[in-house]
Structure 1
Amino acid sequence: MIDLLTFVPAVAAILATPGPTNTLLATSGAQAGFRRSLPLVPAELAGYGIAIATWGLFLEPASAALPWLKPLLKLACAVYLVAVAWDLWRDAGSPENGDHLGARRVFSATLLNPKALLFAIAIFPEAAFRDLSGFLQTMSFFAAIVVPTALGWIVFGSTFSGPSARIQPRLIQRGAALALLTFSVSLGVTTLG
């Protein structure tokens, strides 16, 4: 059974923290606007669902036998985030930059987001990984927190778009790239340290 008094605040706090997925959601809100960014929310849910299930069901038990597995995967996530940051920086202001902020990019960033590991091993109850009904129940509570949080990041980003915006979308995208790079370096340093 889920203790909602601890689960909800913990999930909400972690999801509200800036990271790779939230950076992409806000950037898309700024670049494409609120309505065109809505398809990113199901992409985030799918990414988290697959990543949390994988960590909880397979990788966490495997890492007990292979202690190098978690650090290696965390470093791989850090390298991927550097690549995402580079793409955002390089393509800032280009007319086709919407391709880099689409559902596929959000799904991939979320799938490799280290927050999923934290959810799987520290926030989700162990019972969530014992049977499908327990996992689906926990994921439904999780989704009820993900959706408004994702919408909040998109709204935040969309406040920087439109005719009244004082900040150029190119600068927002470059700022997002720097935020992702910072997150990646932090992940790499804590993994190696």
Structure 2
Amino acid sequence: MSVAEFLPLILFVIVSTITPGGATTLATASGAHFGYRRSLPFMCGIAAGLASMAAGAAGGLGGVILALPSLQFAMKLVGTLYLLWLAWKMARSGPPRLHSDITKPTRFLGAVWLVWHNPKGWAMTLGAAASFASPAAEPLRLALTLGCSFGLAAIFSLSLWCIAGLLFARLLRTDTQWHALNALLGVLLAISIIPMWLE
């Protein structure tokens, strides 16, 4: 794949991963409540999950999932219930506890699980596999290219959202401000579920 062929892929994965959605909302909340370092396992889990999805889509796994309506529905239902539970917890939380071990951020495997149950992510990575299959010489190369591209773009994008959460942690001073922000993030997370059911 030449640089000219690689540039559209880079633009696609950056736009796909940086636009607001469930993962970016969770990264913002995690940054605000736990700081960047403690949010790293969550962000790495999202990136690894997205990278493995992209590689799987290039290898044909995404096509199998999209071809089975009952599996798609089950994934949507499980993913929706989990995201709604996270949105409820987020909306009810108070000021951040950056140095507390009582409340822990989402861990690596939880983040991977979250991404793998997102049909929107499968559709996005399958679309990338279909769109960028011709420049790749072989399926393994396409899987590696897509996996690395989505993984790196996700780390970059989630880091920006996590840092935005850190800025909120420095700007907001009162419990009322934090409750308002957490309620807003919870509502945004819940709203991010809607496009998954409209596809």
TM-score normalised according to structure 2 size: 0.75
Q: 1:109 to 1:73 in 2, by over 3 A?
A: closer
Q: Which of the residues 13, 19, 22 maps onto 2:21?
A: 19
* Aligned residue in 2 for 1:145: 153
Alignment partners' CA distance in 2, 1:174 and 1:104: 26
* 12-21 or 88-97, larger mean C-alpha shift: 88-97
State the match for 2:81 in structure 1.
79
Structure 2's unaligned 5+ residue stretches are: none
Query: Which among 41, 44, 52 is matched to residue 42 of structure 1?
Result: 44
1:183, distance to aligned residue in structure 2 (A) = 1.3
Kindly provide the CA deviation profile for residues 103-143 of structure 1, in whole angstroms up to 9, marking residues without a partner as x.
Answer: 44433332333442133221133477x64343123222223
Tell me the residue number matched to 1:165.
172
Cα distance in 1 for residues equivalent to 2:110 and 2:93: 14
Residue 163 of structure 2 corresponds to 155
Q: Secondary structure at the residue paired with 1:108?
A: helix
> C-alpha offsets along residues 127-167 of structure 1, whole Å, 9 cap, x if unaligned?
77x643431232222233222211111111110113x4346
Instruction: Give the length in aligned residue pairs.
Output: 187
| Aligned Cα root-mean-square deviation (Å) | 3.0
Query: Which residue does the alignment assign to 1:58?
Result: 61
8 Å contact kept, 1:78–1:185? no
Q: Map 1:67-106 onto structure 2 (within 5 A).
A: 67-93=69-95, 98-106=103-111
TM-score between both structures, scaled by the size of structure 1 = 0.77
Q: Are 1:123 and 2:131 matched, yes or no?
A: no
Contact 2:56 2:62 in 1 (8 A): yes
For each residue in 1:65-105, what CA deviation from the matched residue of structure 2 results, as whole angstroms up to 9, or x when unmatched?
x3444344334322332122123234445866742544444
Is 1:31 aligned with 2:40? no
Give unpaired runs (5+ residues) of structure 1.
Answer: none
| Worse-matched range after superposition: 104-113 or 140-149 | 104-113
- The 1-side partners of 2:112 and 2:186 are apart by 17
Distance 2:139 2:70 in 1: 28
- Paired AA for residue 50 in structure 1: S
